[in-house]
């Protein structure tokens, strides 16, 4: 995987209650066309951790009503990344 694709696969961390409950997993928003293998390589190279498992979910965008009628939010993809025992990513330390 080239370096440019490495930086475009991960969009950022996804912070939610469900994501905070997982002790050894981290949740990321990823590119819609990203594969599990690309997510694994990107996390391992950018954060220097060992990834055990990656599960991806396609999240369908919600349909909202506004003053112009109905509008759909864009669909997106998230990845649940399970890290090896004893490893952690601290997002507070990242620039």
- C-beta separation of 95 from 66 below 8 A: no
User: What six digits make up the tokens of 46?
Assistant: 């950018």
Kindly tell me the sign of the dihedral angle through the C-alpha atoms of 18, 20, 23, 29.
positive
> Options 2.160.10.10, 3.30.450.370, 3.30.70.330, 3.40.50.10470; which CATH number does 3-87 get?
3.30.70.330
Q: What's the confidence (pLDDT) of residue 22? A: 76
pLDDT above 60: residue 95? no
**DSSP per residue over 2-40, as a string?**
-HHHHHHHEEEE---HHHHH-SSEEEEEE-TT--HHHHH
Question: pTM for the full model?
Answer: 0.87
Q: How confident is the model at residue 79 (pLDDT cuts 50, 70, 90)?
A: very high
Distance CA 41, CA 70 (A): 39
pLDDT for the residue numbered 90: 79
- Percent of the chain beyond pLDDT 90? 72
Summarised one tens digit per residue, pLDDT across range 40-76 is 999 999 999 999 999 999 999 999 999 999 999 999 9
Span 25-43, average pLDDT? 96
């Amino acid at each position: 995987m080239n370096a440019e694709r490495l930086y475009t696969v991960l969009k950022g961390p996804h912070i939610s209650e469900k994501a905070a409950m997982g002790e050894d997993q981290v949740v990321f928003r990823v590119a819609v066309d990203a594969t599990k293998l690309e997510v694994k390589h990107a996390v391992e190279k950018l954060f220097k951790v060992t990834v055990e498992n990656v599960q991806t979910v396609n999240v369908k965008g919600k349909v909202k009503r506004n003053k112009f009628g109905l509008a759909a939010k864009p669909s997106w993809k998230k990845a649940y990344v399970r890290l090896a025992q004893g490893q952690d990513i601290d997002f507070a330390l990242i620039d």
